[in-house]
Homo-oligomer: A and B are copies of this chain.
Amino acid sequence: MSLGLGMGAIRAAARRIAPHIHRTPVFRSRSLDAMANAELFFKCENLQRTGSFKIRGAANAVLSLSDEEAARGVATHSSGNHGAALACAARLRGIAAYIVVPSNAPEVKKRAIADFGGAITFCEPTLAAREEAIRKILAETGAVLIHPYNDERIITGQATAALELLEEIPDLDALLAPVSGGGLLSGTAIAAKALQPQIAVIGCEPAGADDAYRSLAAGRIMPMDNPQTIADGLRASLCPLTFGILRQHVDRVVLVSEDEIVEGMRLLWERLKLVVEPSGAVAASAALFGKLGPGAFDGGADKSDGKGAGLPRPDKSGEAARRAPRLGIILSGGNVDLARLPFR
């Protein structure tokens, strides 16, 4: 791990962005605990400024730029939340933001980018079209690329959500976060393992966009060009930086179906009274629908033996082993088109 990705960098990011972001609350629900047979601690990044955790990384990156870099403006490609966050962060610093957005991004996310003063360029929802569009913008404007996850400043910024959660709830057995390009999960894993080495860190991914699951199983990056999932924020693929971090620090990646994402989202809305977007519900769905499997809470065990220790954990006393596992769950965002909801 480079020096830019340790706890020192994460704590520096936390101090840098603190004046500009919300310290989001942790929500509980008796009825969801009963469904999951666990104690669930929901870190409400849907209540974060710009409606997702993405402002953490974007603000950290923009506030880390030299004055000379900042003067050129910033650019990125984003399915929505990183774009809105970067536009918001750019506005904080009074600089321009150029955002490439796939044409199928939700209206609410496109509108948020525009509301923060970001200049939008639309592209087809493919990797090739996106890269062509961003290349053109960088050439035309000279702006600094702030990649949504292939960037240490972004990863250390995203890590501050887990840092806050573990400061507030220090004795979690596992921490669950959604995985797309891997920026949030990388930061979450680095912070969690540094603060609490025995914790299990579990990535949660739609089965229809399972590149992280397949990449970790194969031991090499397996990108997807056309993922199919309602979780519009989870359609990106790992990059070498995040793949390396996930291999080192993440215990496992689990998959949830489209029906489970929608039902998990519905349960969060009904029981927590929180608007959570599909991507934001994926980690909760994994906990609610029994996706964690044996060994899920055994983050300190040797992962290479292929056995999985299962519950009860052998390194805990009898009493501790019998209690319900305590799971931290990052609700990553809440930006959803209210006129196009999947509930029936």
Contacts and interface: CB of A to CB of B under 8 A. Distances in A.
B273 A51 contact: yes
B46 A338 contact: no
B344 A339 contact: yes
A5 to B, nearest CB: 30
A339 B343 contact: yes
Interface in A311-344: 334, 338-339, 341, 343-344
Interface of A: 25, 46-47, 51, 108, 266, 269-270, 273-276, 334, 338-339, 341, 343-344
A338 B343 contact: yes
B338 A270 contact: yes
Contacts of A338: 266, 269-270, 341, 343
A87 to B, nearest CB: 14
Q: Is the interface of A mostly helix, strand, loop or mixed?
A: loop
Copies per assembly: 2
A273 B341 contact: no
Contact of A47 (B273, B276, B343, B344): B273
Q: Which of A47, A266, A276 has the most CB of B within 10 A?
A: A47
A254 B107 CA distance: 34
A77 B339 CA distance: 34
A326 B278 CA distance: 35
16 contacts: A46-B273, A47-B273, A266-B338, A269-B338, A270-B275, A273-B274, A273-B275, A273-B334, A274-B274, A274-B275, A275-B275, A338-B341, A338-B343, A339-B343, A341-B341, A341-B343
Closest 4 CB pairs of A and B: A273-B334, A273-B275, A338-B343, A46-B273
A266 B51 CA distance: 15
A332 to B, nearest CB: 12
A55 to B, nearest CB: 13
A230 to B, nearest CB: 15
Nearest to A343: B338
Nearest to A338: B343
Given A51-B273, A273-B274, A338-B343, 20 more contacts: A25-B25, A46-B273, A47-B273, A108-B270, A266-B338, A269-B275, A269-B338, A270-B275, A270-B338, A273-B275, A273-B276, A273-B334, A274-B274, A274-B275, A275-B275, A338-B341, A339-B343, A339-B344, A341-B341, A341-B343
Contacts of A274: 273-275
Nearest to A341: B341
Q: Which of A46, A269, A273, A274 has the most CB of B within 10 A?
A: A273
